[in-house]
């Protein structure tokens, strides 16, 4: 019997090969879509899929939760195109910056942080949000003497937290769908505290970074950067967008709307804002399609992730992993499960945030159910895992933030990232010990 159990465990661990290969490929900078496609094929072979069953798995993924999230992300990109065309995004940034009355370094820091938090939180993408913000805030930063290093750290640190605060961002939608938590509950106990810790630490860090780089890494030619002045039409469109967005959030929370409700919101906001912003209905649809086309690769990635996870599970990978770490979990109990999940995601799994959240949740689901782990604690582990990974490794978000800030000071980015990561992981450990 022991031999049989060992043999079964060994074959099950072999079923984890696609996941391990996926991690290696991603960390070797292989394109995430290509890495996923390769691992799906390996998983199909290990789980003894035929061409017919493989096709059925791909077909079933069209109706999966990840496919729904992928569609929402595409629609969000489409909404972003409409907000950009109507200058609503630009107007929001302008209002924030001038509303604060920027005339000192600290006011400029606050203004850029607020603009980044709002725009990235609304659009659900760091690259898209910072691309809109940068041309407007860089002249402000230059005028008061902020360094490129300071601005780049703000772009990344605040953008990362905006992605876990916005009600319709991909990580939030995925997190709520998997854990079944309410948005208000998640915001109050999970994303809110993590964001507060990050912003507080970053605020202290950028004071020091600004002091050290004020003269060595300053902006030289701010006059070459785009200036923006809202028009009456863009102001009206912004007001209508803000009212509609808030109404949608309140209604969604009140009726406990499912994830699919976001599809209606994205399309509705695109049409309403576009029409008020002076666009024709045909133009709005073209902009939405243009934006969606930019995320087709991501949508395909999410379609492949569902059979990827299914094949690993079918091959016994997750069951073997559970059996392997069960003794450790038994000793450490619920806190050990939460902390292990958080650290594994932070340092062991890299790639798309939604993919990481889904993979971790599937890997630990049996343990979560068996031990009755608090979903609040587990949601915190998922959030911290994906945030820490982006802060400690120089990935796409970090590099793009450097680019938008016109900086090459990776050292300051990593210095802030590691301090933030240490504080987030400390919070995860304390929360797990108290509430898991």
- How sure is the predictor about 364, in pLDDT bands with cuts at 50, 70 and 90? confident
- Positive or negative torsion for Cα 353, 357, 362, 364: positive
The token pair that represents 11 in the structure block: 């074959």
**Exposure b/e, 48-63, CB count within 10 A at least 16 = b:** ebeeeebeebeeebee
Q: Give residue 2's pLDDT band: very low, low, confident or very high (50, 70, 90).
A: very low
* pLDDT of amino acid 308: 82
Per-residue pLDDT band at 1 (split at 50, 70, 90): very low
Residue 4 is predicted with a pLDDT of 42
Mean pLDDT along residues 122-135: 73
Average pLDDT, the chain: 81
Confidence of residue 275 (pLDDT cuts 50, 70, 90): very high
Please report the pLDDT score of residue 283 as a whole number. 92
Residue-wise pLDDT for 230-245, tens only, equals: 888 988 998 998 898 8
Q: Is the pTM of this model over 0.75?
A: no
Neighbours of 395 (CB within 10 A): 16
């Amino acid at each position: 019997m022991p031999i049989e159990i060992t043999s079964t465990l060994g074959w099950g661990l072999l079923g984890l090969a696609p996941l391990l290969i996926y991690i290696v490929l991603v960390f070797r900078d292989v394109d995430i879509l290509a890495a996923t496609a390769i691992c799906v094929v390996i998983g199909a072979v290990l789980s003894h899929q035929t061409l017919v069953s493989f096709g059925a798995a791909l077909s079933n993924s069209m109706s999966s939760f990840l496919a729904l999230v992928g569609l929402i992300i595409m629609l969000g990109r489409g909404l972003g195109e409409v907000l950009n065309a109507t200058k609503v995004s630009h107007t929001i940034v302008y209002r924030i910056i001038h509303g604060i009355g920027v005339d000192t370094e600290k006011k400029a820091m606050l203004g850029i942080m607020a603009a980044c938090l709002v725009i990235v939180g609304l659009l659900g993408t760091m690259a898209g949000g910072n691309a809109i913000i940068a041309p407007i805030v860089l002249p402000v930063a230059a005028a008061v003497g902020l360094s490129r290093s300071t601005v780049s750290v703000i772009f990344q640190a605040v953008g990362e937290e905006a992605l876990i605060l916005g009600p319709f961002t991909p990580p939030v939608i995925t997190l709520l769908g998997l854990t079944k938590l309410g948005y208000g509950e998640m915001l109050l106990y999970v994303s809110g505290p993590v964001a507060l810790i990050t912003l507080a630490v970053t605020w202290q860090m950028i004071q020091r970074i600004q002091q050290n780089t004020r003269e060595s890494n300053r902006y030289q030619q701010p006059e070459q950067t785009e200036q923006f002045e809202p028009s009456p039409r863009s102001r009206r469109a912004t007001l209508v967008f803000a009212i509609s967005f808030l109404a949608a959030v309140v209604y969604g929370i009140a009726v406990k709307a499912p994830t699919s409700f976001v599809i209606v919101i994205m399309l509705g906001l695109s049409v309403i804002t576009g029409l008020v912003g002076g666009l024709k209905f045909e133009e709005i649809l073209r902009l939405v399609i243009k934006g969606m086309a930019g995320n087709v690769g991501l949508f395909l990635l999410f379609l492949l992730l569902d059979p990827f996870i299914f094949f690993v599970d079918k091959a016994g990978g997750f069951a073997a992993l559970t059996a392997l770490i069960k003794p450790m979990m038994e000793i450490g109990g619920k806190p050990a499960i939460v902390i292990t999940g958080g650290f594994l995601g932070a340092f062991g799994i890299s790639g798309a945030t939604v993919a990481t959240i889904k993979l971790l949740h599937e890997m630990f689901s049996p343990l979560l159910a068996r031990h009755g782990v608090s979903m609040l604690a587990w949601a915190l582990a998922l959030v911290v895992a994906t945030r820490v990974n982006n802060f400690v490794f120089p990935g796409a978000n970090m590099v793009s933030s450097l680019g938008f800030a016109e900086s090459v000071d990776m050292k300051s980015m990593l210095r802030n990232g590691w301090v933030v990561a240490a504080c987030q992981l400390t919070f995860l450990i304390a929360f797990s010990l108290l509430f898991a």
